[in-house]
Amino acid sequence: MGGGGHMLSANKSLKENRALLKKRRDKRFKEELRESKRGIELEFKQVAETELQLIKERIREKAERDHRSSMRLLGIVAFILIAIAAWITLLSYGMERLNF
């Protein structure tokens, strides 16, 4: 069985590369952790109360429209699935067995 030296060399190279990756990852992680501890202040736009109410109302209307459309889609899909199930049932039992 030849090639033992090749495999040993490949395994050694993979092990060394893995060690290098761990060092780089640790450094990056520590840097990100340090940045997150600094605490970033968020600044929000100041909006008048009436405008804020209008924005909230628009968001509610859009959510309601989205909900209605998703319910319609669900109804259509349910109807199609029921129709397919009925069709398969009629095909499997045959029309003559049901005595229509």
Model pLDDT for residues 38-65, shown as the tens digit of each residue: 666 767 888 899 999 999 999 999 999 9
- Taking residues 86-94, what's their average pLDDT? 83
Determine contact, residues 47/55, Cβ cutoff 8 Å.
Answer: yes
Helix (H, G, I), strand (E, B) or coil at 99: coil
pLDDT at 89 over 60: yes
Give the Cα separation of 13 and 25 in Å (integer).
Answer: 19
Q: What is the pLDDT of residue 97?
A: 64
Q: What is the pLDDT of residue 60?
A: 97
* DSSP string over 27-77: HHHHHHHHHHHT-PPP------HHHHHHHHHHHHHHHHHHHHHHHHHHHHH
Residue bearing the bigger pLDDT, 32 or 36: 32
